[in-house]
A and B are shown apart, each in its own frame.
Chain A
Amino acid sequence: MHGHKTFDSSALPRALTERPRILVQPLESMAAVAETRLVTITINDVELQVPKGELIVESVKRLGLEIPIFCYHARMKPVGMCRMCLVEVGFKQPDGSVRKMPKPQAGCTLPADNNMVIYTDTEMVHRDRKGVLEFLLVNHPLDCPICDRGGECPLQNNTIFYGPSTTRFTELKRHLPKAYPLSQYVTLDLERCIQCGRCVRFTEEISGDAQLAFRFRGSNMQPSTFQLLDFDSKFSGNVIEICPVGALTSAKYRFRARPWDLETSPFNCLECSNHCSVWFDHRAGKFVRMNGRTNEAVNEEWTCDKGKFGQDWINDSNRSVKVMVRKGDAFAESTWSEAYDQIIAAFSGGHCAALIGGKQSNESLFLLGKLFRDGFKSNHLDSRWTRHLTDDALKLAPDTIASLEHKKTILILGTSLADELPMVFLRARKAWFKNGTQVLNVTAKANEADAFATQSLRYDEDHEADVVAGIRLALEGAADDAFALVARRAQVSAADFRAIAKELGPDTAIITSRSIFNVGDAGDVLDGLQAIARKTGCTFNCYAVNGNDAGAEALGLIGGQGSLNTREILEACVNYRVKALWLFDCNPFDLYPDHHLVNDALESVAFLVVQGSNSSSLTPYASVVLPSAAPAEQDGSYVNMEGRLQRGKGMLQAPGDAKPSWRIFSELLLRTAGGTPYFNPSEILQAIGQEVPSFAGVGDGELLKSAVAGGVTA
């Protein structure tokens, strides 16, 4: 050790300190880049091989060591702003001695190279860390007892482990506005900021909206929005999580709980079809907050604001808690058995249908299908609410979210990705930022993807079919005259079509969403895009948008092929062919574009079951209202838009009489078709695996069979 005293660190396994040895641990990232060269470095007298250029702050993790950090974040570029990760660095000389650099170096900006010698545990390093923390704490207020970050704060932790135990600073601290609302979700406390730049870099590198920047210099430096406007980002919630102090806190979580008050469980967000992995924090049986959970396949560690801040309905006072049955003109509280009797009387005979929406588990959906087919002898179920309804069966997308990262070109057509598929948006942006993927953003209106798209093409709204036709013409090499009609209708020039078509190739992914089925001539759009995919050899993804829509489709809960689809069901209600309708966790007024038809249908149908977790405007139409549990209140599995099956566990107690939907259907199934009832969701998932081929043998976090094998089946 050349005269350097090393401190025995309990973090360092004894076996590693005693005997230097070579460790070769090819990480996944190394496998991806085949030509990565390995270099030999020495950390605390342990020799190991790491890829050349790997940052030292990452290399030490291979030995189970840790370097304290604030500004460094593995998913963002290092900036070396906080100086917390200082290490001693030297180089091995040919004679075997180590020549040290005179000053400590920041481990987060130091790439590994041959013969590098790192010390993370010397007296000097310890003194430096103490000094850095003392400086950081000079202006940091002693807010910890009332700070929302207190208890899970990196600054607290690092100070306890590496910092000074007392303060020498007796002068006046910096005073700045407290609890400044950056947006409706994010609260900024400037006194607490340690100027690490994580939030600023997040908006620049990850979300790409570049909403935050630093103002002023030195100790006056503060993150802020431009011209002090609202922090208007669709991913703003993430900066709360990555802030290493309590400077950025959640306005919704403000003073709601301390970390040690909370119970947390892994959960999948169901606010859109991406199904981000999250931590679901609850206290005394109530939902409190949601944070991102690392899942490289889906959300890495990010969340979108729609999901992170959109879970209030679980605690809402309008939760449906009682079984209600219509008696004459009035609604009366009732029992499950009375409701079941009425339902069975009304639904038996086959003139019945169900419309499905929202965030229901595969188990519930499967049993609903079984109940209708076996119990009620009807096959009229539909989970789709778009204007255009295809008869096609399973249509899962060939590209997973993660695979988009390595595409050469991504064509976004007719969807605002940041709104509809936030994690696809982040992945597409990462593909552009890290791997130089070309992004072509072809949408009617400007949106967030324009910021990084190599080409943005605007067209006249509702003319997607013409745009697709134009691209097809360009692929076929048509002359200018041929474009006349589509160019005039879509307000796009032939040159623009050609510029888009030129980029399409086998390594291209076309991305659109199910909301494309709401535009005029949606069938033509779909056919056209499939034709383009066939011609260029690229992949075509038409991702589902809502909750567990992909799961409902995979389970065959869509109309067509002899059964009525959504529109036909509503029409059949109007002309009395459907006598009993089941609305399963959906409000057609919110979901279906034709409100007159919905109103007529709900008024005409003789018997209407409204089942859901929250009471809605549908109650006046209902014959029976059934309260059902929210996803967080029941076990269940869900399929996201790439076809990934993810299981979730119930954590909360359902309020009042509410039951998990699968249990309601299981009980009804027992009363109608008989047989052995299902007792828990695992049993049902097993049954799904036996009856639905695409689910057979699919484990938690795996892709459905058809999604792996398939691509689009038209």
Chain B
Amino acid sequence: MSLDLMRDVAKPILAGFGITAQRLKKKKVTISYPDERREQYQRTRWRHYLVRYESGLEKCIGCSLCAGACPARCIYVEADENTDQERYSPGERYAKRYEINMLRCIFCGYCQEACPTGAIVLRQNFELANYERKDFIYTKEMLLEKVPGEADECYNRVPTIR
């Protein structure tokens, strides 16, 4: 078998370029993450947030039902009593400590389902990578939205591509 330069080398290369050339007509599927990000589905379950009422009071009442429902047992809740001087949530009880171990979490969303006040929600923000194991313990300060409505918008602040 002798090597035919035309048939065995040039033609396959040209055929390959042909495929590439055809692709040039089509819409690009890749995006330049993280400068651009793809929009997530509405009900995607990623990062947890503790949300607030319009009034600014926390929705979480520290009932620990999320911890009870959690199949990975990654939620730790410590409750305390509201006083008139120090009020965090409506009613008698609020969460003094609220921690989620993101390494254990399986993002099943049972906590969201169990929550009687809709305080814990899972939103589209999926960028949860970190360097230290201890940084994966999300404390109440990290989970609690700073202003009402933040949880719904946090992901969309960066430009997204449809």
**Residues of A that sit less than 8 Å from B by CB:** 145-146, 150-151, 178-179, 254-258, 260-261, 284
Contacts and interface: CB of A to CB of B under 8 A. Distances in A.
Given A146-B93, A179-B92, A254 B81 contact: yes
**B61, B77, B92 — which one has the most chain A CB atoms within 10 A of its CB?**
B92
A659 B80 CA distance: 33
Contact of B61 (A145, A151, A257): A145
Contact of A146 (B67, B76, B91): B91
Contact of B64 (A178, A179, A260, A284): A260
Nearest to B115: A145
B79 interface: yes
Contact of B79 (A151, A179, A255): A255
Contacts of B62: 146, 255
B81 A151 contact: no
Interface of B: 61-65, 67-68, 76-77, 79-81, 91-93, 116-117
A152 to B, nearest CB: 12
B68 A146 contact: no
Interface centre among B64, B67, B81, by most chain A C-beta atoms within 10 angstroms, is B64
Contacts of B77: 261
Per DSSP, chain A at the interface is: loop
B92 A178 contact: yes
A170 to B, nearest CB: 20
A254 B96 CA distance: 13
A146 to B, nearest CB: 4
Contacts of B76: 284
B80 A255 contact: yes
A145 B62 CA distance: 8
B68 A255 contact: no
A255 B78 CA distance: 8
26 contacts: A145-B63, A145-B65, A145-B116, A145-B117, A146-B61, A146-B62, A146-B63, A146-B92, A146-B93, A151-B68, A178-B92, A179-B92, A255-B79, A255-B80, A255-B92, A256-B79, A258-B63, A258-B64, A258-B65, A258-B67, A258-B68, A260-B67, A261-B64, A261-B68, A261-B77, A284-B76
Contacts, number: 37
A189 B76 CA distance: 27
Nearest to B95: A255
A150 B63 contact: yes
Contacts of B79: 255-256
B65 to A, nearest CB: 6
B95 to A, nearest CB: 10
A261 B62 CA distance: 12
Contacts of A261: 64, 67-68, 77
**Residue of A255, A257, A260 contacting most chain B CB atoms (<10 Å):** A255
Given A145-B116, A255-B62, A255-B79, A260 B93 contact: no
Interface centre among A178, A179, A254 (most CB of B within 10 A): A254
Nearest to A260: B68
A712 B136 CA distance: 64
A146 B115 CA distance: 12
B137 to A, nearest CB: 14
Given A146-B92, A146-B93, 4 more contacts: A151-B68, A255-B79, A258-B65, A260-B64
A151 B68 CA distance: 10
A260 B76 CA distance: 12
B92 to A, nearest CB: 6
A257 to B, nearest CB: 8
Contacts of A179: 92
Contacts of B68: 151, 258, 260-261
A177 to B, nearest CB: 12
Nearest to A284: B76
A255 B65 CA distance: 13
B93 A255 contact: yes
A145 B79 CA distance: 11
B28 to A, nearest CB: 49
Contacts of A254: 81
A256 B62 CA distance: 10
A255 B95 CA distance: 10
Nearest to A142: B116
Contacts of A150: 63
A261 B97 CA distance: 14
A625 to B, nearest CB: 32
Nearest to A150: B63
Q: Which of A146, A151, A179, A284: most chain B Cβ within 10 A?
A: A146
Nearest to A179: B92
B67 A255 contact: no
A261 B67 CA distance: 8
A257 B67 CA distance: 11
Contacts of B63: 145-146, 150, 258
Nearest to B68: A260
A257 B81 CA distance: 12
A255 B91 CA distance: 13
Contacts of B61: 145-146
A323 B92 CA distance: 43
Nearest to A145: B63
Nearest to A178: B92
A638 B65 CA distance: 38
Nearest to A255: B79
A151 B77 CA distance: 15
A150 B68 CA distance: 12
B50 to A, nearest CB: 15
A150 B61 CA distance: 14
B41 to A, nearest CB: 30
Nearest to A151: B68
The 9 residue pairs across chains A and B that have the minimum distance between CB atoms = A145-B63, A146-B93, A255-B79, A258-B64, A260-B68, A145-B116, A255-B93, A146-B61, A255-B81
A256 B79 CA distance: 6
A255 B60 CA distance: 14
Contacts of A146: 61-63, 91-93
Nearest to B93: A146
A66 B12 CA distance: 81
A512 to B, nearest CB: 44
A285 to B, nearest CB: 13
Contacts of A260: 64, 67-68
A260 B80 CA distance: 17
A250 to B, nearest CB: 13
Contacts of A284: 76
A286 B126 CA distance: 35
A25 B79 CA distance: 48
Contacts of A178: 92
Nearest to B63: A145
Nearest to B91: A146
A284 B99 CA distance: 13
A651 to B, nearest CB: 19
A320 B117 CA distance: 43
B13 to A, nearest CB: 66
Contacts of A257: 64
A294 B144 CA distance: 44
A256 B117 CA distance: 20
Nearest to A258: B64
Contacts of B80: 255
A261 B81 CA distance: 18
A261 B63 CA distance: 11
A284 B117 CA distance: 26
Nearest to B64: A258
A365 B93 CA distance: 45
Contacts of B65: 145, 258
B71 to A, nearest CB: 13
A130 B20 CA distance: 72
